[in-house]
Amino acid sequence: MHHRTSRRTLLTATAATAAAAATGAVALPGAARATESGTSSDSTLKRLIARMSLEEKVGQLFVMRVYGHSATAPDQADVDANLAEIGVRDAAELISTYHVGGIIYFAWAHNTRDPHQIADLSNGIQRAGLAGPTPLPLIISTDQEHGIVCRVGEPATLLPGAMALGAGGSRSDARTAGRIAGTELAALGIRQNYAPDADVNVNPANPVIGVRSFGSDPESVAGLVAAQVKGYQSAAVAATAKHFPGHGDTSTDSHTGLPYIHHTREQWAELDAPPFRAAVAAGIDSIMTAHIVVPALDPSEDPATLSRPILTGILREELGYDGVVVTDALGMEGVRTKYGDARVPVLALLAGVDQLLNPPDLKVAWTAVLNAVKSGEISEARIEESILRILRLKAKLGLFRDPYVTHRGVDRTVGIAAHLAAADRIAERTTTLLANTGSLLPLSRRSHRDLLVVGADPASPSGTTGPPTSTLAGAFGEMGYTATALSTGTAPSPAKIAEAVAAAQGKDAVVVGTYNVSATSSQRTLVSALVATGVPVITLAIRNPYDIAQLAGTGYAASLAAYSWTDVELRAAARVIAGRAEPEGRLPVPVQRADAPTQALFPVGYGLSYRK
């Protein structure tokens, strides 16, 4: 009943406007029905914008974090965090104070405990938005890339990430994964997803993109990006291609520094641009900026997020994009290096941005934009351009018609058997077999029944999946093997290596989960020590597929790449090792030799199979 009352508030208030009078309907029906930016839709939305105060207009530009599982009754620790960081107690107070146009969910902010809670939080946020002076729904967003970046964990369906899908090479699978993920997000009230990653990962040393990219070939990446855009948006979730103009060739993490990309204009057009062009052609709803410097595109060396030549000159004018442009998070060091937190949002808007994502201090950022408009540095007409794009997106997503979700809708959609089965099938097609000495694989339960699973156990991407060693051991156990799990970590100590060697005695095979092995990593020592026991060793790269190059000469018997350590990818890898599934994945990036980095150990497209 509360939902209906809140919705009626919006309908009544909107019906009082000239727009509603003109259409004879309620809840901005013209805009809600018109998914394109037609004249009637825009005129309706412009009349709505004209009703807003300047403070409301400025607020619509911001997408902000907030702590808590509830919009009005978060735990006290979350209240304290909100007061310390934002100066409000909860999401409802954030909306009433700053009139924000969107809220982003994070697991660490305790927004995503379980599906019913997420749905209730989303409904509470929408009620708060519709209770404002100008009743407006919010766009709720998150980073649900899948693979190593997930904010919503089980029991939601977890799917293979971008590089795994790149290894599978199927645009149909990429589109299906996007549709499943989008359908579940929409059921939770999350209507803008900061995915897919459109970066072309041509630098193996890239510390921030890596397996978040579909691969190193621009055309292959472009096709998979377009497929995911169509998948997400077929489920009425706004997809977001990121990070424009391309974050794939960096050796600096923009969370902690300001990366430079030294591609020429021609190299950018050949390597970085194709996926973004494909996203625009596919009708992408939003594009996220990168906090990177590309001198060939803007000699001022401003980060792209603050660059008018890049965002307006290239993205808007050259690529012809007129959808929503959202910044990457404004608390990242890459965008804060050159200018202070009060200048960054102003410069971003002047560059051509529409949504300002998660500033470190909302009051500082919001006040800076408000003052810039009052002083004339930013014209009110300029911010109204962005507000119109944002409201068009809200209308396209149907948020003016009905922004609410239900527990029944959650139960009928999130983590259902059909989605989980599809995730398993897709994951099986991504696992890549790189080496298989003596045809050790697939493992026979007769001759290799007793297994030891050791290796890295990095923190779960979603916060809800199990440690990789336990997940792998459990998957083997379900297939009739006897499997023991032993976590040795990403930097195993001599004592932990000795423990693993002792545990390997009498086993039929050892599976080692490796994680970003470097030239000096003790993970290499672990593999060598296990090989010395005489027990066959199988290595499985659970993040970047480059580990095999650093393990050359250790004597492993077989090696595979899973591209992530989420349960769905690890279970699929176990089925491939056991021969329950064929290894169909092919490398979407080259693996260079560790001793000669200019030479390829394995080229793009490499992968073994069991078929004779």
Return the HEC string of 262-304: CCCHHHHHHHHHHHHHHHHHCCCCEEEECCCECCCCCCCCCCH
Q: What is the mean pLDDT of residues 57-61?
A: 98
**Catalytic pick from 255, 402, 411, 450?**
255
> How far apart, in Å, do the first and last CA atoms of the chain sit?
64
How confident is residue 612, by pLDDT bands cut at 50, 70 and 90?
A: low
Tokens 């625009």 belong to which residue? Answer: 280
pLDDT at 29: 36
Q: What is the pLDDT of residues 458-501, one digit of tens each?
A: 887 776 678 999 999 999 999 999 999 999 999 999 999 999 99
255 is catalytic: yes
3-state secondary structure of 149: strand
pLDDT at 304 over 50: yes
CB within 8 A of 272, min separation 6: which ones?
A: 199, 200, 218, 245, 246, 248, 249, 261, 263
pLDDT at 461: 76
pLDDT at 105 over 60: yes
Least confidently predicted of 276-285, 378-387, 440-449, 502-511: 440-449
Centroid of chain to Cα 561 = 21
Domain covering 431-602: architecture: 3-Layer(aba) Sandwich (3.40)
Domain ranges of the chain: 52-411, 431-602
pLDDT at 598: 87
How confident is residue 30, by pLDDT bands cut at 50, 70 and 90?
A: very low
Centroid of chain to Cα 464 = 17
Tokens of 41: 């839709």
pLDDT at 159 over 60: yes
Q: Which helix H or strand E contains 311, and what residues bound it?
A: none
How confident is residue 1, by pLDDT bands cut at 50, 70 and 90?
A: very low
**Catalytic pick from 90, 328, 354, 424?**
328
Contact yes or no for 247/254 (Cβ under 8 A): yes
402 is catalytic: no
pLDDT at 9 over 50: no
pTM, 2 dp:
0.92
Q: What is the pLDDT of residues 115-139, one digit of tens each?
A: 999 999 999 999 999 999 999 999 9
Query: What is the rounded average pLDDT for all residues in the chain?
Result: 92
How confident is residue 19, by pLDDT bands cut at 50, 70 and 90?
A: very low
Q: Which helix H or strand E contains 172, and what residues bound it?
A: helix 171-187
pLDDT at 31: 37
3-state secondary structure of 25: coil
How confident is residue 206, by pLDDT bands cut at 50, 70 and 90?
A: confident
Q: What is the mean pLDDT of residues 186-195?
A: 98
pLDDT at 459: 82
What is the share, in percent, of the chain residues with pLDDT greater than 90?
86
Say how far apart CA 33 and CA 47 lie, in whole Å: 17
Measured on CA atoms in the order 293, 295, 301, 306, is the torsion positive or negative?
Answer: negative
pLDDT at 394 over 50: yes
Tokens of 8: 């009626």
What is the share, in percent, of the chain residues with pLDDT greater than 70?
93
pLDDT at 38: 40
pLDDT at 463: 65
Tokens of 380: 């009110």
Give CATH superfamily name and number for 52-411.
Answer: Glycoside hydrolase, family 3, N-terminal domain (3.20.20.300)
